[in-house]
Amino acid sequence: MAVCVKDIVPKRKGLFITFEGSEGSGKSTQIKLVRRYLEKKGARVLFLREPGGTKISEKIRRILLDVGSAGMGDECETLLYMAARAQLVKETIAPALKKGMIVLCDRFLDSTLAYQGYGSGVSIEWIKKIGGFATRGICPDLTFFFDIDAQEGLKRIQRAKDRIEQRALAYHERVRQGYLKLARREPARIKVIQGSKDKDEIHWIVRKHMDGLLGL
Ligand code: TMP
Protein backbone atom coordinates (compact mmCIF):
# COMPACT_ATOMS: atom_id res chain seq x y z
CA MET A 1 0.00 0.00 0.00
CA ALA A 2 1.33 3.44 -0.88
CA VAL A 3 1.98 5.90 1.96
CA CYS A 4 0.24 8.67 0.08
CA VAL A 5 -3.28 8.71 -1.12
CA LYS A 6 -2.90 11.62 -3.52
CA ASP A 7 -5.93 10.66 -5.55
CA ILE A 8 -8.30 11.52 -2.69
CA VAL A 9 -6.67 14.92 -2.03
CA PRO A 10 -8.60 17.85 -3.41
CA LYS A 11 -6.62 19.95 -5.92
CA ARG A 12 -4.27 22.28 -4.11
CA LYS A 13 -2.03 25.05 -5.36
CA GLY A 14 0.77 25.07 -2.81
CA LEU A 15 3.83 22.92 -2.36
CA PHE A 16 4.56 20.70 0.57
CA ILE A 17 8.18 19.90 1.33
CA THR A 18 9.28 17.83 4.31
CA PHE A 19 12.61 17.28 6.01
CA GLU A 20 13.42 14.01 7.68
CA GLY A 21 16.45 12.64 9.42
CA SER A 22 17.86 10.64 12.24
CA GLU A 23 19.08 12.43 15.38
CA GLY A 24 21.94 14.88 14.80
CA SER A 25 21.66 14.72 11.01
CA GLY A 26 21.93 18.49 10.48
CA LYS A 27 18.31 18.69 9.35
CA SER A 28 17.44 21.83 11.37
CA THR A 29 20.42 23.79 10.00
CA GLN A 30 19.42 22.93 6.44
CA ILE A 31 15.80 23.94 7.00
CA LYS A 32 16.93 27.37 8.22
CA LEU A 33 19.12 27.82 5.13
CA VAL A 34 16.35 26.77 2.72
CA ARG A 35 13.84 29.00 4.43
CA ARG A 36 16.17 32.00 4.10
CA TYR A 37 16.85 31.11 0.46
CA LEU A 38 13.15 30.91 -0.45
CA GLU A 39 12.24 34.07 1.46
CA LYS A 40 14.96 35.96 -0.41
CA LYS A 41 13.33 34.80 -3.63
CA GLY A 42 10.07 36.36 -2.41
CA ALA A 43 8.25 33.05 -1.93
CA ARG A 44 5.36 32.76 0.55
CA VAL A 45 6.87 30.23 2.89
CA LEU A 46 5.42 28.68 5.99
CA PHE A 47 7.76 26.82 8.30
CA LEU A 48 6.41 24.19 10.69
CA ARG A 49 7.70 21.42 12.88
CA GLU A 50 6.39 18.06 13.98
CA PRO A 51 5.32 17.19 16.52
CA GLY A 52 4.14 20.75 17.11
CA GLY A 53 3.23 23.80 15.09
CA THR A 54 -0.12 24.51 16.78
CA LYS A 55 -1.00 25.20 20.40
CA ILE A 56 -2.50 21.73 20.86
CA SER A 57 0.26 19.94 18.94
CA GLU A 58 2.98 21.70 20.96
CA LYS A 59 1.30 20.47 24.16
CA ILE A 60 1.32 16.93 22.76
CA ARG A 61 5.01 17.40 21.83
CA ARG A 62 5.86 18.15 25.45
CA ILE A 63 4.19 14.92 26.60
CA LEU A 64 5.93 12.88 23.89
CA LEU A 65 9.45 14.15 24.45
CA ASP A 66 9.33 14.46 28.24
CA VAL A 67 11.67 11.93 29.87
CA GLY A 68 9.01 11.82 32.61
CA SER A 69 6.71 10.03 30.12
CA ALA A 70 8.77 6.85 30.57
CA GLY A 71 6.57 3.77 30.28
CA MET A 72 4.41 5.18 27.47
CA GLY A 73 3.26 2.29 25.29
CA ASP A 74 4.04 2.11 21.55
CA GLU A 75 0.33 2.40 20.74
CA CYS A 76 -0.13 5.52 22.85
CA GLU A 77 3.06 7.06 21.43
CA THR A 78 2.02 6.39 17.83
CA LEU A 79 -1.46 7.80 18.35
CA LEU A 80 -0.12 10.93 20.06
CA TYR A 81 2.21 11.64 17.11
CA MET A 82 -0.78 11.14 14.81
CA ALA A 83 -3.00 13.37 16.96
CA ALA A 84 -0.44 16.19 16.88
CA ARG A 85 -0.20 15.75 13.10
CA ALA A 86 -3.96 15.70 12.56
CA GLN A 87 -4.32 19.05 14.34
CA LEU A 88 -1.44 20.61 12.40
CA VAL A 89 -2.89 19.42 9.09
CA LYS A 90 -6.37 20.70 9.87
CA GLU A 91 -5.35 24.01 11.41
CA THR A 92 -2.38 24.98 9.28
CA ILE A 93 -1.07 22.73 6.52
CA ALA A 94 -4.28 22.14 4.56
CA PRO A 95 -5.38 25.84 4.60
CA ALA A 96 -1.86 27.05 3.67
CA LEU A 97 -1.60 24.67 0.72
CA LYS A 98 -5.03 25.75 -0.43
CA LYS A 99 -3.81 29.37 -0.41
CA GLY A 100 -0.86 28.39 -2.60
CA MET A 101 1.87 28.68 0.00
CA ILE A 102 5.09 26.71 0.16
CA VAL A 103 4.95 24.70 3.36
CA LEU A 104 8.22 23.44 4.81
CA CYS A 105 7.75 20.91 7.57
CA ASP A 106 10.39 19.52 9.88
CA ARG A 107 9.24 15.86 9.94
CA PHE A 108 5.90 14.34 8.88
CA LEU A 109 4.36 10.88 8.46
CA ASP A 110 7.67 9.31 7.34
CA SER A 111 8.96 9.95 10.88
CA THR A 112 6.22 7.76 12.35
CA LEU A 113 6.95 5.03 9.82
CA ALA A 114 10.68 5.18 10.64
CA TYR A 115 10.57 5.66 14.44
CA GLN A 116 7.41 3.89 15.58
CA GLY A 117 7.20 1.50 12.62
CA TYR A 118 10.73 0.33 11.82
CA GLY A 119 12.19 1.47 15.16
CA SER A 120 9.60 0.13 17.62
CA GLY A 121 7.88 -2.50 15.50
CA VAL A 122 4.41 -0.95 15.21
CA SER A 123 2.60 -2.30 12.12
CA ILE A 124 3.60 -0.34 9.01
CA GLU A 125 0.28 -1.07 7.35
CA TRP A 126 -1.58 0.25 10.37
CA ILE A 127 0.54 3.43 10.49
CA LYS A 128 -0.22 4.04 6.81
CA LYS A 129 -3.91 3.53 7.40
CA ILE A 130 -4.20 5.82 10.42
CA GLY A 131 -1.74 8.19 8.73
CA GLY A 132 -4.09 8.65 5.80
CA PHE A 133 -6.79 9.64 8.27
CA ALA A 134 -4.58 12.06 10.23
CA THR A 135 -3.12 13.75 7.15
CA ARG A 136 -6.36 13.79 5.14
CA GLY A 137 -4.32 12.14 2.42
CA ILE A 138 -1.93 15.09 2.13
CA CYS A 139 1.45 13.83 1.01
CA PRO A 140 4.70 15.79 0.57
CA ASP A 141 5.66 16.78 -2.97
CA LEU A 142 9.31 16.43 -1.99
CA THR A 143 11.06 14.97 1.05
CA PHE A 144 14.69 15.29 2.04
CA PHE A 145 16.14 12.56 4.20
CA PHE A 146 19.39 13.63 5.84
CA ASP A 147 21.23 10.42 6.43
CA ILE A 148 23.94 9.95 9.03
CA ASP A 149 25.50 7.04 10.88
CA ALA A 150 23.37 6.59 14.01
CA GLN A 151 26.28 6.69 16.46
CA GLU A 152 27.84 9.76 14.82
CA GLY A 153 24.48 11.56 14.86
CA LEU A 154 23.84 10.86 18.54
CA LYS A 155 27.33 12.11 19.40
CA ARG A 156 26.47 15.47 17.81
CA ILE A 157 23.71 16.15 20.37
CA GLN A 158 25.24 18.45 22.98
CA ARG A 159 22.14 19.25 25.10
CA ALA A 160 20.20 16.87 27.40
CA LYS A 161 18.63 14.11 25.31
CA ASP A 162 14.82 13.83 25.10
CA ARG A 163 12.82 10.62 25.65
CA ILE A 164 13.26 9.40 22.06
CA GLU A 165 16.90 10.43 21.70
CA GLN A 166 17.72 8.52 24.89
CA ARG A 167 16.85 5.20 23.25
CA ALA A 168 19.52 2.58 22.54
CA LEU A 169 21.83 2.80 19.55
CA ALA A 170 20.21 -0.33 18.04
CA TYR A 171 16.86 1.51 17.99
CA HIS A 172 18.35 4.48 16.13
CA GLU A 173 20.02 2.12 13.68
CA ARG A 174 16.65 0.51 12.91
CA VAL A 175 15.14 3.99 12.41
CA ARG A 176 17.91 4.85 9.93
CA GLN A 177 17.48 1.59 8.00
CA GLY A 178 13.73 2.24 7.96
CA TYR A 179 14.22 5.64 6.37
CA LEU A 180 16.54 4.15 3.76
CA LYS A 181 13.90 1.51 2.96
CA LEU A 182 11.24 4.22 2.53
CA ALA A 183 13.58 6.16 0.24
CA ARG A 184 14.26 3.09 -1.91
CA ARG A 185 10.50 2.58 -2.28
CA GLU A 186 9.78 6.19 -3.25
CA PRO A 187 12.91 7.53 -4.95
CA ALA A 188 11.03 10.22 -6.89
CA ARG A 189 9.78 11.85 -3.69
CA ILE A 190 12.42 11.05 -1.06
CA LYS A 191 15.91 12.38 -1.75
CA VAL A 192 18.66 10.92 0.39
CA ILE A 193 21.30 13.48 1.33
CA GLN A 194 24.54 12.48 3.06
CA GLY A 195 24.42 14.33 6.39
CA SER A 196 28.16 13.89 6.92
CA LYS A 197 28.95 16.28 4.03
CA ASP A 198 29.89 19.93 4.54
CA LYS A 199 26.88 22.14 5.43
CA ASP A 200 27.29 24.41 2.36
CA GLU A 201 27.64 21.44 0.05
CA ILE A 202 24.43 19.95 1.47
CA HIS A 203 22.62 23.27 1.07
CA TRP A 204 23.70 23.38 -2.57
CA ILE A 205 22.27 19.91 -3.23
CA VAL A 206 19.02 20.80 -1.44
CA ARG A 207 18.71 24.02 -3.45
CA LYS A 208 19.17 22.15 -6.72
CA HIS A 209 16.24 19.86 -5.89
CA MET A 210 14.11 22.78 -4.69
CA ASP A 211 14.86 24.85 -7.80
CA GLY A 212 13.85 21.89 -9.94
CA LEU A 213 10.53 21.53 -8.15
CA LEU A 214 9.79 25.27 -8.08
CA GLY A 215 10.97 25.87 -11.63
CA LEU A 216 13.52 28.51 -10.49
P1 TMP B 1 12.87 16.69 16.51
O2 TMP B 1 13.94 16.35 17.53
O3 TMP B 1 13.32 16.57 15.11
O4 TMP B 1 12.16 17.96 16.81
O5 TMP B 1 11.74 15.52 16.62
C6 TMP B 1 11.21 15.16 17.81
C7 TMP B 1 11.47 13.70 18.14
O8 TMP B 1 10.27 12.95 17.88
C9 TMP B 1 12.57 13.02 17.35
O10 TMP B 1 13.32 12.21 18.27
C11 TMP B 1 11.86 12.12 16.40
C12 TMP B 1 10.57 11.81 17.10
N13 TMP B 1 9.42 11.53 16.24
C14 TMP B 1 8.86 10.26 16.24
O15 TMP B 1 9.36 9.37 16.93
N16 TMP B 1 7.75 10.04 15.47
C17 TMP B 1 7.16 11.02 14.73
O18 TMP B 1 6.15 10.78 14.05
C19 TMP B 1 7.75 12.34 14.74
C20 TMP B 1 7.13 13.44 13.95
C21 TMP B 1 8.87 12.54 15.51
**Domains observed in the chain:** 15-214 (3.40.50.300)
pLDDT at residue 6 in the model: 40
What is the spatial distance between Cα 23 and Cα 176, in angstroms, rounded to a whole number?
9
What is the spatial distance between Cα 14 and Cα 30, in angstroms, rounded to a whole number?
21
pLDDT tens sequence across 1-24: 334 434 334 456 899 999 999 889
Between the ranges 1-5, 28-32, 136-140, where is the mean pLDDT highest? 136-140
The pairing of strands 45-49 and 102-106 is: parallel
pLDDT at residue 13 in the model: 84
Q: What is the whole-number distance in angstroms between the Cα of residue 51 and the centre of ligand 1?
A: 6
Find the length of the chain.
216
What is the spatial distance between Cα 19 and Cα 93, in angstroms, rounded to a whole number?
15
Going by alpha carbons, the residue nearest to atom 10 of ligand 1 is 164
Q: What is the whole-number distance in angstroms between the Cα of residue 215 and the centre of ligand 1?
A: 31
Does 182 contact ligand 1 (Cβ within 6 A)?
Answer: no
3-class secondary-structure state, position 19: strand
pLDDT tens sequence across 87-130: 999 999 999 999 999 999 999 999 999 999 999 999 999 999 99
Taking the CA of residue 153 as centre, how many other CA atoms within 13 Å lie in the half-sphere pointing to its CB?
Answer: 23
